[in-house]
Structure 1
Amino acid sequence: MNRRIEVEAVSSMSSLPDTAPEDESAAPVGRPGWPMTLAILAVCLAVVASGWWVARVVLKEPEPERPSPEDAAAFVLDAAERMEAADSYALTFTRLREGRPVGEGTASYDLSGNPRFELSFAYADGPEVYHYDLGDGVPITTAGHGLQIPEEPSEADRYLCSAMFGSAKLREIAESSEDLELASREELDTGAGDVTALRYEGTFTAWVGGYDSGTGTNTLESLEGVPFTLWLTPEGDPLRLAYGTSTGLEELYEYGPPPA
């Protein structure tokens, strides 16, 4: 681009008409003086720079290629990242022990909401606990002991009182499962009609949050080798997750759009 602009500039100079009086000799043709050279160079650099700026504005980087559903770990991790990048989401989950319901929870996130994130869990034989994130990163819990704002948040506080709770299970599967695989493509009844779903299976390390009503603190337990079944849309949005442990603990997650 530099070479073309310079040639055009010099060429247009050489084509200027000779305006010298007839009784005066025309100025000898040759290289322009250094002031003119600097002026031409400045014009060239300005044009090149503006062209680069326009290219940066107009041309966009291509969208990164989405992983294939057959690349199970990458596809599930991509689903977690899609959920984390969303402006809002909602999910519900049920917890069972030996087949008996022991509690149910609801989580919702809205980037522009106040609170920004809310997770409630009603224990069948205990209090209803609420976890909040107001958007300032300070975890808040309310239950039978009243409002709790820890000076030094624990890992359990951060897990339960953060919008990252929505994608936590997906990340746990993608990052800890060594036998994760795409088992089948099938029609899944979501309650709002059948949808095409990709079913993934395997085992993973599950983190299970809870609440100790005796101490008034949040808890977090790690369970290894937990069998699971996960359903995602072909686009990578989570639909349903079911898992159960050898200790009799089971959880069923239902993912969906935020409530209207």
Structure 2
Amino acid sequence: MSKINDVTQEELRLLGEEFKSKFSIHHLQLLAVKTGMIRRKRKCRAQDLVSLCVFLSQAIGTESLVSLCAKLTRATGIQLSSQGLNERFNAQTVQFLKELFLQVFRKKFSPMTPLSNRFTRIRILDSTAFQLPAQYASSYKGIGGGGSEAGVKIQLEYELISGEFLETAVRDGTSSDCRYGQERTQTLEPGELSLRDLGYFSIYDLEKIADRAAFYVSRIRWNTQVYQKEKDG
């Protein structure tokens, strides 16, 4: 497994631990009804689907339905056909998992009052990338070479004060963080704070953020020259 996939697995493992510690079975059932994932009593319950998607499956998007059904049976005793499981992965299930993910974020990263008083919004931009099977190369270009010819990068911008996702983009695995950051800079409003990792670093972009009367926290490249003004300017 590639280093990128190892990192992704670790991120999801940590997220799974948050799910375990913060949500009861009753809460999951209520959320499933609210999002329309469950409209009547089903063999596969909300907690079973969460277990399958978050805790039991170690392969991100590559494990077969037959294998997933076998894991579900071993863990819960529920027997479900691959077709039946495939039908569970619908728009309502996506909405259910999205709401669950959002609730974890809001509980984990509740804003600090001093920061929320200083800025109108606190925007956190980051990305994650992983390889796909080679047959998806025509849709999502990968790095090739020693890796797969197909790969995907997901860009996500999260607003810390409101707990909302501002933007999600799915792009080629070869796409540039820096270029995407410049696109997002055009949406910044005065008084907002932008938090970004080193991959988005660009002197030109930081100037544009300042021009928009917004603020930023960014790592800088090791070879960047930084000057400090004297008091006389």
The answer to which structure has the higher strand fraction is 1
Q: TM-score, normalised by structure 1?
A: 0.23
Greater helix content: 2
Q: TM-score, normalised on structure 2? A: 0.25
Structure whose alpha-carbon radius of gyration is higher: 1
